[in-house]
Amino acid sequence: MAVTSRTLQLIRAMRAAVGGFADNAVRDLTAQWVAAWDRLAPTWLQAVDVLVAWAVAHGRWPTPVELARMGPVQQALADTDETLDTLGAATTATVVTAAGLAIAATAAAEPDVIASQLPAAYRQNTRERVAEQILPSALDVIRTRVTQAITAQTRPLSADASAAIRRELVRGVELGTNPTETARRTLAAVQGRFEGGAARATNIARTETLDAYRTASRYAHDANADVLEGWVWLATVTGKSAPRTCPSCWAMHATVHDLTEAGPLDHQSGRCVRAPKVKPWRALGINLNEPAGSIPDRQAAFDALTDQQQTAVLGTARLALLRAGRIDWSDLPVRRDNPAWRPSYVPRPLGDLNRIADQRR
């Protein structure tokens, strides 16, 4: 069965809801990390003044042993470690909450998404039957597994950020002739490492919330394999956001996958979705002709972009290879394994694409 316009409308609504949970988590975490640095800043100002005064007096940056003897610096590090531990726990709680909301929203929406691909007379019964197959006990198991995955991702946050700050202090900055400027650059370097933890926390929040949706969606599809024959990878290839969709996601758009296959396995923070694909009506005992599908055609959508937008998607070199027919859309994505997270499809490096193009000459 072809995915209908109503199916796409429901999926967009579900994606917007899940994206909203992710965005709220990101805003919450950003606010927490900003407020935490504001509280730490006075302590670090004092510590940096002591550190820079020592460095200017000795004409060099202190060694790790000498840094360890500076009380204000060690106090700032201790306060930062405590703050980072609190932020790490808060990140875990915030992301787990967002993921739980995503799972619940997905479980509620999938019956309507699946039923939307059937004739109107069959939709209500199908919706009820699909919903019955989505068991609360199974959703609880998914929540537990997702929580474990999120905890594994957030656990190193505080230790990694703390280690990055210590490395920055040991490396130091060029002293220069102006102690005030040296102090400013030192403080900015420490703040940058601290905010690196915030960037990682927000990336985890977005990625894990969206993956929680995908996990719940896959379960709902597996539980209703009697009416589904697979799922379709949907990327954003129309509208204002289309030029910001990466080459890999453009290439994966509209590809059909087996129900047992996880996905969409897009990159971190990616917002691609999976659309369930219902079996042909006649295979389900419905003796009616089916309408044409409504999934946007990838090539037509790309051709509708301006030259500038096409370049924004692919880059000049990739676009030239594609236009010349030296590579295909299927060449653009490549699967990368990540033992600390999950496999994902990312844009194939340009050098590899050039080698593929040369081999086809």
* 276-335 pLDDT tens trace: 999 999 999 999 988 888 899 999 999 999 999 999 999 999 999 999 999 999 999 999
Closest CA to 204 of 155, 243, 273, 253: 155
Segment 154-158 mean pLDDT: 91
Under the banding of pLDDT at 50, 70 and 90, the label for residue 271 is confident
Query: What amino acid occupies position 10?
Result: L
pLDDT at 278: 94
Q: Is the overall model pTM greater than 0.75, yes or no? A: yes
Q: Which residue has the higher pLDDT, 340 or 135?
A: 135
Per-residue pLDDT at 177: 72
Domain boundaries, the chain: 5-224, 228-361
Tell which CATH classification among 1.20.1530, 1.20.120, 1.10.1740, 1.10.1060 matches the domain 5-224: 1.20.120
pLDDT digits (tens, 9 = 90+) for 83-132: 999 999 999 999 999 999 999 999 999 999 999 999 999 999 999 999 99
Listed in sequence order, the residues at least 6 apart from 221 whose beta carbon sits closer than 8 Å to its beta carbon are 110, 228, 231, 259, 274, 276
Q: Output the pLDDT for position 1.
A: 55
| Mean pLDDT taken over the chain | 92
Q: Is the pLDDT of residue 341 over 80?
A: no
Helix segments in the chain, DSSP class H: 5-58, 64-68, 71-115, 120-133, 136-154, 157-171, 179-222, 247-252, 298-303, 307-314, 316-323, 350-359
pLDDT value at residue 34: 96
Work out the angle at residue 137's Cα, subtended by the Cα atoms of residues 134 and 140, and round it to the nearest 5 degrees. Answer: 105
User: Mean pLDDT across the stretch 202-224?
Assistant: 93
Burial class of residue 109 (count of CB atoms within 10 Å of its CB; 0-12, 13-18, 19+) = buried
